[in-house]
Structure 1
C-alpha cells in the first residue's frame, strides 16, 4: 500500500484518466482529481473514498487557461498537499486541416496538451526531488511514434513532444528517486472519439486494435514503477511501432497519407447525429 503518498490525475473525469484514478486508489494512493466536470469528479471521488478508505480531493479546472497549472499548484500548497505521483492525462483531438480552425482553437489545444503538463512538472518536480520519491506518467500515444497524418495536424506532434520531453526528463532525474514514463496507448475505449465526432467510424475498426482503459492505466503505473521511460501498450501497438520504424520515411508517409485519406473519406460519407 502507498501510505501517505498522493497522486494528481488530470483529465480524471472519464476514460484513461478515470481509470488511473481508480487504479491509484486501489493501490492505496490519496488523490487529487482535476478536470472540467466538477459533478463527475465529485461522484468518482466519493466512490473511491468509500471503496478504498483514501483521501480524494476534487479540483475542477480547465487546463486551457494559461494560469491553470499555477493556480492548481498554489491551491494544493495552501492546503499543505504535496504530490508524489503526477499523471498528465488531460487531452483531446482537433480535427480538420490546420488553416480550417481558428488560431484560438490551436492555442488552447497546445496549452492543454504540451504547456500545461510541462508546467505542472516544472512546479511539482522540485518537491519530488526533495522528498526522494516521485512518479510522473505523461500519457502520450502511439500517434507520437508514427508519421503525422493530415487532418490531425497537432495531435501526433503534441504526443511526440511528450515522448521526447519524457526521455530527457528521465535522464535528468536519474538517481533522484523520480521515475518518468511516456505512456503510448493506441485505440482505447473512452470518450475521446465521442468528443472529436469519430465514434461511429472508429467503432467499425477491428476489435484486436482496441484496449480497455483500466488495462492501459494498470500497465502505465507498472511501467513507471519499473523505470520504463517509454512504454507502448499492447502487442499490436508495439508491432505497429516497430514496422514504421523499419520503413523508409518516404514509404511510411505514403502509407499514412493513403490510410488517412481513406479515413477522411469514410468520415465525410458517414451520417452525423
Structure 2
C-alpha cells in the first residue's frame, strides 16, 4: 500500500472491525480506532502498536454529533485518513413494534446516517490527495429476501450497498475506491449482543466464516476497486439463488429458515 495515511475503523473494538484493524496493521497501515468501549480499544491498540502507530478515539455513533466530532478530532491530531472503514453496527432483535422509536432512531443513526456523514466528511481530503479507500461493511442480508424480525437491518444494509456502488462510480476517476463488503454468518460478538448466539450456532458449519478471512477479502476488494464484495462461495451461491430463483420460491426458502437467524417475537 503506497499511501502513508491512516486507516480509520469504526466499531473497531470487536468482531469484523477488530479483524479489519488487524489486517491493516499486518499491511503496515497506521490506524485510528474508534468505538464506544474505550477499554476494548485500548487493549486492541496495545496489541497492534508493535506493528504500526495506533490512535484511539472513543465515540458513540448513535449520537448525531459524533461524526462531526470524530472528523474534527482527527484534524486536531493532524491525522490524514486515507482509508475509511464504516463498520460500526448491530441488530435490533424482534418485531418492529417490539422496540420503541428511540431504539430504531439510534439504530438508523449508526447504520445509515453516520455511514453517509463520515463518508461526506472524509472524502474531500481523499479526492484532493488523488487517493483514498472507503470500505463500507454491509451484509448478505441485503441481498436475500427479507424476513420477519430485525426489521430495519436488511433495509439499512441495502442502503449501504447502493450508496457504496453509486459513490464508487463517482469517485473512481478521482483515485478513490469504494466497496460494500457483504459477509454472511461470521464468527464474532454480533450474535451475542443481539441474543441470537444459541439459535444461530445450530446453523450448518459451511455457512460460517471467521472474521479474519472476511477482513482480508474486504481489504483486498477495496484495493482492487470492486464496488461489491460478497465473501465466500456459499454466500455468493445464496445471493445468486435469491437473484435468479423465482421471487416467490426465494422468499419461501428464506422464510422457512428465518427463525434460525432472526428473532421474530
Q: Would the alpha carbon gap of residues 104 and 79 (structure 1) be closer, same or farther in structure 2, given more than 3 Å must change?
A: same
Q: Summarize deviations over 1:206-258 as a string: whole Å, max 9, x none.
A: 11110000000000010011111011000000000001101222322233323
- Does the 8 A contact of 2:187 with 2:211 survive in 1? yes
Distance in 1 (alpha carbons) for counterparts of 2:253 and 2:35: 36
- Does the 8 A contact of 1:63 with 1:112 survive in 2? yes
Match of residue 180 from structure 1: 178
Equivalent pairs counted in the alignment come to: 265
Match of residue 77 from structure 1: 75
Q: 1:19-98 counterparts in 2 under 5 A?
A: 19-50=19-50, 52=51, 54-98=52-96
Match of residue 192 from structure 2: 194
Which of 93, 107, 110 aligns to 1:109? It is: 107
1:261 Cα shift? Answer: 4.7
Q: Would the alpha carbon gap of residues 56 and 165 (structure 1) be closer, same or farther in structure 2, given more than 3 Å must change?
A: same
Q: Secondary structure at the match of 2:256?
A: helix
- Does the 8 A contact of 2:140 with 2:239 survive in 1? yes
Distance in 1 (alpha carbons) for counterparts of 2:258 and 2:74: 43
1:144 Cα shift? Answer: 0.6
Distance in 2 (alpha carbons) for counterparts of 1:245 and 1:131: 38
Q: Would the alpha carbon gap of residues 225 and 121 (structure 1) be closer, same or farther in structure 2, given more than 3 Å must change?
A: same
Q: Summarize deviations over 1:194-215 as a string: whole Å, max 9, x none.
A: 0000101111111111000000
Distance in 1 (alpha carbons) for counterparts of 2:244 and 2:48: 44
Q: Secondary structure at the match of 1:90?
A: coil
TM-score, scaled relative to structure 2: 0.96
Distance in 1 (alpha carbons) for counterparts of 2:259 and 2:183: 23
Q: Summarize deviations over 1:119-151 as a string: whole Å, max 9, x none.
A: 000000000000011000000000011111101
Distance in 2 (alpha carbons) for counterparts of 1:246 and 1:55: 46
Match of residue 149 from structure 1: 147
Which of 208, 211, 222 aligns to 1:210? It is: 208
Moved segments of 4+, more than 6 Å? none
Distance in 2 (alpha carbons) for counterparts of 1:184 and 1:4: 27
What are the ranges of 5 or more consecutive residues in structure 2 without an aligned counterpart? none
Let me know the Cα RMSD of the aligned residues.
1.5
- Does the 8 A contact of 1:2 with 1:29 survive in 2? no
Q: Which moved more, 1:83-92 or 1:252-261?
A: 252-261
Match of residue 16 from structure 1: 16
- Does the 8 A contact of 1:136 with 1:179 survive in 2? yes
Q: Summarize deviations over 1:153-179 as a string: whole Å, max 9, x none.
A: 100000100000001000110211100
- Does the 8 A contact of 1:19 with 1:217 survive in 2? yes
Answering whether residue 123 of structure 2 is matched by residue 118 of structure 1, we say no
TM-score, scaled relative to structure 1: 0.94
